Homo-oligomer: A and B are copies of this chain.
């Protein structure tokens, strides 16, 4: 009897390109934007494929997903960090901020398990603030 062997996941051209596009994007693109950029490399790629691959890459720890205005955006930076969102121009910027140990401890004392923390700062970026 043969042992059932798990097949290797293929590393397809599509997956490599989608990953590379996110790697090269520092503007927190949407899936649609990733699709447009990927199409420049591989014009036949489909939007559904881009969505599927992005959703694979996140649990693999290769990219991060952040949600702004009910829309998914993708970030090549996987280290723990947070975001500032400009309400006027829509720019999303990385923000380093310490997390509140006190609040976490208090929740954990209640028996809660904290797995993820997300801080979002909304307002006007320097350029938009200067225009006002």
Interface size band for A: 20 to 34
A104 CB, nearest partner CB in chain B, Å: 7
**B112–A122 CB distance below 8 A:** no
CB neighbors of B among A97-112 (8 A): 97-98, 100, 102-104, 107, 110-112
**A120–B121 CB distance below 8 A:** no
CB within 8 A of A129: which of B97, B111, B125? B111
Residue A60 lies at the interface, judged by CB distance under 8 Å to chain B: no
CB neighbors of B among A114-130 (8 A): 114-126, 129-130
> Which residues of chain A have a CB within 8 Å of any CB of chain B?
67, 70-71, 84, 87, 95-98, 100, 102-104, 107, 110-126, 129-130
